[in-house]
Each structure stands twice: as structure tokens, then as C-alpha cells.
Amino acid sequence: MNPKALHYTMPAEWAPHERTMLSWPIRSSMVYPDNYEEVCGGYAELVKAIAEFEPVTLVVNPEDAERLRPIFEGHPVELLAIAHNDAWLRDNGPTIVMNADGERAGINWGFNAWGGKYSPWDLDDAVAPAVLEHLGLRRFDAPLVLEGGSIHVDGEGTLLTTEECLLNENRNPELSREEIERHVKDFVNVEKIIWLNRGLAGDETDGHVDNAACFAAPGKVIIQVCDDPADDNYAITQENLRILEQSTDARGRKLEIVKIQQPPYTEYEGSRLTLSYLNFYFVNGGIILPVFGGAAEETDRLAEEVLQRTFPDYRIRTVDGMAVIREGGNVHCTTQQIPAGRQN
């Protein structure tokens, strides 16, 4: 049996959370291991920012637990010792689904380190089952390699993703598009998938949607745009914008589209950094927004203004996105929401 057959569905990210889960960075798996201390400082800032809104569970390697405990003393942060290879719990952690009675369960997707890019990944592939055992939740094992950052749902039957990622031959080469779509619909229980073509330029995840576009509410999508025809993201974002403008959701609604201007082009050690304001994270009553400073100061300000207008009742809490991006990802990539279930 799959979640859809048992009437479980994936709540929207803005639905109430019981807590947020993250994983602590591992130097040996970092894209830029020399930045380990700076990255850890950025993670500590991020964890404490989230803890201003809701409890946090931080997955740590067992040997790191005692060293990290004093950093979060006085904050609603618990440390959970689970061996792991990398820090991106959005992608290797479980996706929590819920039924109408508020009973929760978890999806254990297959994980292969973004198409085999980082080895080893055996510990990361075992994290979701360990988390679900800790939470005491029923587990559904999906016959599909999928990262949480590659999907976003509206909570009313519609899912956003990219063909570049979900149909990439380095994930599920034995499956057809129709089979992949059926598995996704069965495990998160959606009726319609809106397929963008590509994610942002330079994104080594092969185009995760959580850098490109996300739902702000049912019927409303936020997209990061580029106005410079010389930038690779211009063609990418213009195409995705056209797809969204021509799409309807599972309820038949045309989409209201909110645009956020991308940060300026930024390189680090000769490679483009995939800077995205869309990699923000919903918390209870707020949004954790990565900002990048320097040449991005103006677009930082504009992104915060757009989100505050879009979510007037939320507190926009900014964090240093540059510290986390040098681990290879961004704010949303590090997080996994645990929706609030039935209260006993």
C-alpha cells in the first residue's frame, strides 16, 4: 500500500510545524572543506534563527554531540545522534505525510547523492529510516530516487518540479516519465504535477525546484527571475515563467505569479554559486530568508520587501546565505519540516 491509497498527503510547507530538523555539516563531504569553520558558524546562526520560531532537532554524528551541545545551550534545540555523510536533510531525510485525522507517516525515498556525485552516501541513504524510527512514525519505502528539494507542494493537490532533475537519467534510468509521475503522485498524493524545464544555472543538484520556484499559497507561485539576456538564467527563468503563466493547478485555478529578482552573478573559486532567495524556509509565523550582502545588497533588500508584501503576517528573519552556500547548498536545502500532527 502507498500513502495515496491510505489517504495520506504531504502538507504544504507553511502548514503548522511540530519542529524543524537539520543535519550538521561534515568536513570530508564539503564542496569547500577549507571553509568548514565558517560554514559551521553559518549553520549555528541558521539553527538559532529557526529556534526563534519553533523547536529544532539537529542530526549530528555521534562523535560530535558533546562538542556541539554547548553551542545551542539555552535554545530549544535537541541533538539527535545519527551517523551521516552530508548535511542536506531536505534531500536525504524523510518526507512527512498526514491523513485527515492528523496521523503522520514518513516517505523513505531512495538517495544516491544527486546522481552519484558524492561518495560515499550509504549513511545518508539510511538517515530517513533512522529519523522515522526516532519519531515513531510509519514508514513507506518509495521505489524511486528523489530528493526533497526537487519537489514543492501547495497542500491542495498540486506539485512543482523540474524535468532536469526528476527525469535525469542519473536518478531513475530504469523508469519512464509516466512511471516516475505515477510514483510521485502515489507517495505525496497529488493530482497534478507542473513540470518546469530546468533549474538555475550552476546548480549541481541538476535543477532542484527549491532554487527556482515555490508555492506561496494555493494558486500562488513565487519565481526568481533574471532580466539580463547575457546571463544563462535569463532563458531558464523566462521559459519557466511562460510555463507557469500557461498552467493551472489541480483545482483549475490560473496561477498568480510573484517575481523576485535574482542576486548578481557570483563566482567562488572559478565556479558560479547558485544564489537563490527562493531557497527560503517557512517556519511557524515566519520565513527564514538567505541574504548575500556585498554586491547583492540591493537585491537582498528587494527580496525581503517582496516577501514581506506577500506574507504581511509573517516575520522575515534574514540569515547569512553566503556562509551556508559554501557548503554547497542553501537554507531550504538544510531543513526538513515535521508537520504538527494530531494532539493526544
Q: Which residues are catalytic?
A: 333
Q: Report, in angstroms and rounded to the nearest whole number, the Rg of the chain calculated over CA atoms.
A: 19
Which one, of 185, 194, 199, lies nearest residue 332 by Cα? Answer: 199
β-strand pairing of 213-217 with 220-225: antiparallel
**What is the spatial distance between Cα 250 and Cα 238, in angstroms, rounded to a whole number?**
23
**Residue 20 contacts residue 135 (beta carbons within 8 Å):** no
| Cell numbers linked to 328 | 554547497
Quick one: CA torsion of 216, 217, 223, 224, rounded to 10 degrees?
0
Sheet holding 104-110, edge to edge: 95-98, 104-110, 138-145
The residues facing 248 across adjacent strands are: 254
